[in-house]
Amino acid sequence: MNIGLLFVQHCAPLSSADIFPPKKNEPFFPSTAPMNRPATLDPFLSLLEQTAGGDRDAFAILYQETSRRIKVYLHRLVQDQNCIDDILVETYTQVWKNSAAFKGKSKVLTWMIGIARNLALKEIGKKRYHEDIADHPEIEAAGIDFEAGDRKEVFRRALALLSPKHREILDLAFYQDLAYREIAHILNISEGTVKTRVFYAKASLKKALERMGINSDDL
Amino acid sequence: MPTSEERPEADKKRDTMDTATARHIMKKTAENVPPAHPALFARIEESIEGPSPVSNARQTPSVSPVQALLNTVRDYLRRPQLAWGIVAVQAIVLCLFIASAPIKNTYHTLSANRTNIEAQAGPIFYVIFHKNARLREIEQLLTRTNGTIINGPGKRGIYTIRFHPTPSATVKKLLTTLNNSSLITFIERAY
């Protein structure tokens, strides 16, 4: 097996639109709210089924296709590079071992994020998961030239001020592009709570940016 | 001050950011996350060395023959059809036992045979003995008439005496005998 070929990383995460491009005259919904997105087939189900049959090549492809997204998710939640790597290894080990037990109650990626989440929560503990912006009175905006292209750094610092809980929900909703139903499944909460948490997470992010002197309406 | 639910929708929107901005920020910050190092997959491969997931799922750990037998029996008993069968058999056996069991008076409550006890007790009289009567004379009278003091004396010197069961004709004789006794000043049948 040529491992080198398998590690061609995507610069941007895969979405359902990448795998199933919209047909002609069909509306494209890149910016619609997650709950309105039409249901699509699971792009990773076949790979997981082959993995369950002991196909290591399929498992390697599954890793190649999903590791970026899982890693970004873990980065939001844990923010410690060493821990993230360990959790990532453990996550894929669990995926391999439990692939035959996957019952299809959720999408494969949702299931995998759920595994990663359980491992990450063990690592960070409940207290840190609920820490909020109020626990970080110091704002480190000094030395950043927003206009000079340091936007990513500003965003990174603003996100770092949020609680892992809020970073997590923003990632699941706006980076992973999961439907509210899927997010509710991962977090084991109701869809209503997901909506509320998304609302407050966005408000916290806006507040964090404002503390750094940036109005999110101008972005 | 209005609560968050009472505030107009426009106010609420001012407190948060639009979805497109949030999406933009999340995508931009994701670009900062370095890709997974190839060595990570090597670590994963190391950790999954051994049997495949299929054989993992079906493989059972080695156990002693006794344990294996117990496991087999346990698995056998866990079958729902068998469990219902056992319940049905138990119900049938219980019904047969109840139907065939002989009905015996192996015990009775205190109140169950009250009528019989009273029937065996015989007539009861309230009696006042003469104030000069001696104990020995009273005992002789009671022995002669098969009487037993069951209560008394009360405040007025009334004793309750029970006599052995006798036919009703004999009760009259008994009453005459007691009335004629110089030891008794008052006698009346208790009902």
Residue of B26, B45, B47 to mutate, interface with A, max A Cβ within 10 Å? B26
With contacts defined as CB-CB under 8 Å, which chain B residues touch A37?
none
Does position A122 have pLDDT exceeding 70, yes or no? yes
Model pLDDT, residue A31: 36
Question: A108 versus B83: which is more confidently predicted?
Answer: A108
Q: Do A13 and B48 touch (CB under 8 A)?
A: no
Of A2-11, A65-74, A198-207, the poorest mean pLDDT is in A2-11
* Structural domains counted in chain B: 1
With contacts defined as CB-CB under 8 Å, which chain B residues touch A93?
44, 47-48
Kindly state the average pLDDT of the residues A6-34.
38
Take residue A43 and report the two structure tokens written for it: 């792009």
SS3 string of chain B?
Answer: CCCCCCCCHHHHHHHCCCHHHHHHHHHHHHCCCCCCCHHHHHHHHHHCCCCCHHHHHHCCCCCCHHHHHHHHHHHHHCCHHHHHHHHHHHHHHHHHHHHHCCCCCCCCCCCCCHHHHHHHHCCEEEEEECCCCCHHHHHHHHHHHCEEEEECCCCCCEEEEEECCCCHHHHHHHHHHHHHCCCEEEEEEEC
A135-163 confidence digits (pLDDT tens): 554 444 455 555 555 778 888 888 888 88
Question: B75 in a domain, yes or no?
Answer: no
Model pLDDT, residue B2: 43
> A131-219: what CATH class?
mainly alpha
Kindly state the average pLDDT of the residues A109-134.
79
Share of chain B above pLDDT 70, in %: 70
Model pLDDT, residue A167: 92
Q: What is the mean pLDDT of chain A?
A: 76
Question: B76 in a domain, yes or no?
Answer: no
With contacts defined as CB-CB under 8 Å, which chain A residues touch B38?
3-4, 7
Question: B7 versus A176: which is more confidently predicted?
Answer: A176
Given pLDDT bands bounded at 50, 70 and 90, which one contains residue B9? low
With contacts defined as CB-CB under 8 Å, which chain A residues touch B22?
170, 173-174, 202, 205
Does position B150 have pLDDT exceeding 60, yes or no? yes
With contacts defined as CB-CB under 8 Å, which chain A residues touch B17?
202-203, 205-206, 216-217
A80-103 confidence digits (pLDDT tens): 777 888 899 999 999 999 999 898
B76-114 confidence digits (pLDDT tens): 766 677 778 888 999 999 999 988 877 665 665 655 544
The residue in chain A having the minimum alpha-carbon distance to the alpha carbon of residue B16 is: A203
Does position B61 have pLDDT exceeding 80, yes or no? no
The residue in chain B having the minimum alpha-carbon distance to the alpha carbon of residue A75 is: B33
Does position A112 have pLDDT exceeding 90, yes or no? yes
Pick from A9, A54, A175: CB nearest B53: A54
Of A124-128, A166-170, B34-38, the poorest mean pLDDT is in A124-128
| CA of A189 vs chain B CAs: smallest distance (Å) | 21
* Cβ contacts from A onto B, under 8 A: 118
Inform me whether the C-beta atom of residue B104 falls under 8 Å from chain A C-beta atoms.
no
Q: Which residues 12-41 of B have a C-beta within 8 angstroms of A?
A: 12, 15-17, 19-38, 40-41
Fold of A43-127: Rna Polymerase Sigma Factor; Chain: A (1.10.1740)
Does position A216 have pLDDT exceeding 80, yes or no? no
Model pLDDT, residue A208: 87
Instruction: Provide the residue range defining the domain that includes B148.
Output: 121-190
Model pLDDT, residue A45: 92
Given pLDDT bands bounded at 50, 70 and 90, which one contains residue B3? very low
Q: Which residues 40-59 of B have a C-beta within 8 angstroms of A?
A: 40-45, 47-48, 52-57
Does position B74 have pLDDT exceeding 50, yes or no? yes
Report field, pTM of the whole predicted structure over 0.90: no
A168-202 confidence digits (pLDDT tens): 999 999 999 999 999 999 999 999 999 999 999 99
CA distance B187 to B178: 8
Given pLDDT bands bounded at 50, 70 and 90, which one contains residue B12? low
With contacts defined as CB-CB under 8 Å, which chain A residues touch B55?
54
**Which own/partner contact pairs does A48-53 have at CB distance under 8 Å and 24+ positions apart?**
A48/A95, A48/A99, A48/A102, A48/A108, A51/A95, A51/A96, A51/A99, A51/B53, A52/A99, A52/A100, A52/A102, A52/B53, A52/B54, A53/B52, A53/B53, A53/B54
Q: Do A171 and B57 touch (CB under 8 A)?
A: no
Kindly state the average pLDDT of the residues B178-182.
85
The residue in chain B having the minimum alpha-carbon distance to the alpha carbon of residue A153 is: B29
Model pLDDT, residue B164: 79
Does position B120 have pLDDT exceeding 80, yes or no? no
| CA of B51 vs chain A CAs: smallest distance (Å) | 8
Residue of A175, A180, A217 to mutate, interface with B, max B Cβ within 10 Å? A175
Which CATH number covers residue B155?
A: 3.30.70.1150
Give the H/E segment covering residue A17. Answer: helix A16-19
Domain ranges of chain A: 43-127, 131-219
Q: Which residues contact A197 (CB under 8 A, 6 or more apart)?
A: A165, A166, A169, A189
Pick from A60, A92, A159: CB nearest B29: A159
Query: How much is the ipTM here?
Result: 0.71
Model pLDDT, residue A186: 92
Does position B127 have pLDDT exceeding 50, yes or no? yes
Question: B43 in a domain, yes or no?
Answer: no
Q: What is the mean pLDDT of chain B?
A: 76
Q: Do A202 and B29 touch (CB under 8 A)?
A: no
